[in-house]
Amino acid sequence: MAGFSFSQVPSQNKCRWFIKHGATTRYDRGFRSKAQADAWISAFGKDLDWRAGFVFRLKGLDADISVVDRKGQLAKP
């Protein structure tokens, strides 16, 4: 894995859940459900360094990636 880019996050309307990478959250890409976000995280497979619910880190990165709502609150499993 070369790194993380917000272009890896689906671009769709009516999203309730968004990706926060480090201190940056993008609201123009995201997920309509926590199930979609969970499947997206799982798709990283061997590139995942670790995962705890909706917070994870990819191998080679030094910042956490998390799934948050529009207010920045972490998604609960």
- 3-state class of 8 per DSSP? helix
Banded model confidence at residue 3, pLDDT cuts 50, 70, 90? confident
Residue 76 covered by a domain: no
Looking at the 3D structure of the chain, how many domains does it have?
Answer: 1
pTM of the model: 0.92
Residue 2 covered by a domain: no
Show the DSSP H helices in the chain as ranges: 34-42
Q: Is the pLDDT of residue 2 over 90?
A: no
Given a contact cutoff of 8 angstroms between Cβ atoms, the answer to whether 40 and 30 are in contact is no
Given a contact cutoff of 8 angstroms between Cβ atoms, the answer to whether 31 and 16 are in contact is yes
> pLDDT (tens digit, 9 = 90+) per residue, 14-66?
999 999 999 999 999 999 999 999 999 999 999 999 999 999 999 999 999 99
Distance CA 24, CA 10 (A): 16
Angle at the Cα of 51 from the Cα atoms of 3 and 16, rounded to 5 degrees: 80
Residue 22 covered by a domain: yes
